[in-house]
Amino acid sequence: MGANSSTALGAASESSDGRIPAEHPGVTDLFAVLAYGEISAFYRLAEEAKLSPTLRGKVAVAKMAGNESEHFKTLEQALADRGVDVFDAMAPFVRALDAYHASTDPSTWLESMVKFYVGDGIAADFYTEIAGALAPEVADVVRDVLAETSHSEFVIEEVRTAVAQNRSERDRLALWGRRLLGEAITQAQYVMAQRDELTELVLVATGDLNGIATLFEHMQNSHAERMRVLGLA
């Protein structure tokens, strides 16, 4: 992290109740990376719906993508409330998120479903942990856009049914899930390295470097649990 930014940010790092105040400049980055995450997930889902063998699958995906669109609007408004244009704010995150999606491009409908469930889960773990350290009005926005939806049930059902009768599919998707976790962590680190304000916010939210290590351990445990739920453990 640059010396000048840590000086500038130091004063705004904690409010009197120990929460990171809404004015912390890392909050803008946090909303922005989430916003571009929603837009890129929207288009990935819409594209991958072509892999669906049924209209039922396409409808489920249209609903999931519709939720991403709603979440984007929430974040756009939250940024506007801070006087920030969503397009300016998202620009620094386009490359890392596009790279994540390019490196985890599903080639089958089931890979797409696993990516949706597992990728959403990894992101939710990370941001929910951060949200716990944020001023309530900021934490509310983050939790709102990460709220798990009923569509997870559709995904779980699709994957569990498919792998219950097919061991090689199960093994393949288990490897796929591991790769998703690896790529998500790689790209998250890349995002952090690019944005001093966001790094500072994450460090304050998790306590210190040990806190980050603990967070990543939690994320790996949750990931393992999600793989078990999908029948891929």
Residue 152 contacts its own copies per CB under 8 A = no
Q: Taking the complex as a whole, how short is the minimal distance between the CB of residue 152 and its own copies, in angstroms?
A: 16
| Of residues 88 and 217, the one with the C-beta less far from its own copies | 88
**Cβ-based nearer residue to its own copies, 89 or 201:** 89
Contacts of residue 227, defined as CB under 8 A and 6 or more positions apart, other chains included, come to 118, 174, 177, 233
Q: Which of 9, 34, 39, 163 binds its own copies (CB under 8 A)?
A: 39
Q: How many CB atoms lie within 10 A of CB 205?
A: 23
205 within 8 A of 132, measured Cβ to Cβ: yes
Contacting residue, 6, 13, 47, 231, with its own copies by CB under 8 A: 47
- Smaller CB distance to its own copies: residue 68 or 129? 68
Which residue number, 79 or 230, has a Cβ lying nearer to its own copies? 79
Is residue 55 within the footprint of its own copies (CB under 8 A)?
yes
Examine residue 65 and tell whether it contacts its own copies (CB under 8 A): yes
Q: How many CB atoms lie within 10 A of CB 164?
A: 11
Q: Interacting stretch for its own copies, rule CB under 8 A, among 2-10, 24-32, 82-90, 142-150?
A: 82-90
Binding-residue pattern over the window 175 to 214 for its own copies, x denoting contact by CB under 8 A: ----------------------------------------
Q: Is 97 in the site for its own copies (CB under 8 A)?
A: no
Distance separating alpha carbons of residues 145 and 130, to the nearest angstrom: 14
Q: For 142, phi and psi rounded to 5 degrees? A: -60, -45
Q: Is 146 in the site for its own copies (CB under 8 A)?
A: no
Q: Using the rule CB under 8 A, is 147 a contact of its own copies?
A: no
Would you count residue 58 as binding its own copies (CB under 8 A)? yes
Residue 91 CA to residue 101 CA, distance in Å, equals 16
Site for its own copies contains 72 (CB under 8 A): yes
Closest distance to its own copies from the beta carbon of 96 (Å): 15
Q: What is the C-alpha to C-alpha distance for residues 188 and 180, in angstroms, rounded to an integer? A: 12
Residue 20 pairs in a beta bridge with 134
Residues within the interface to its own copies (CB under 8 A): 39, 42-43, 46-47, 49, 55-56, 58-59, 62-63, 65-70, 72-73, 86-87, 90, 94
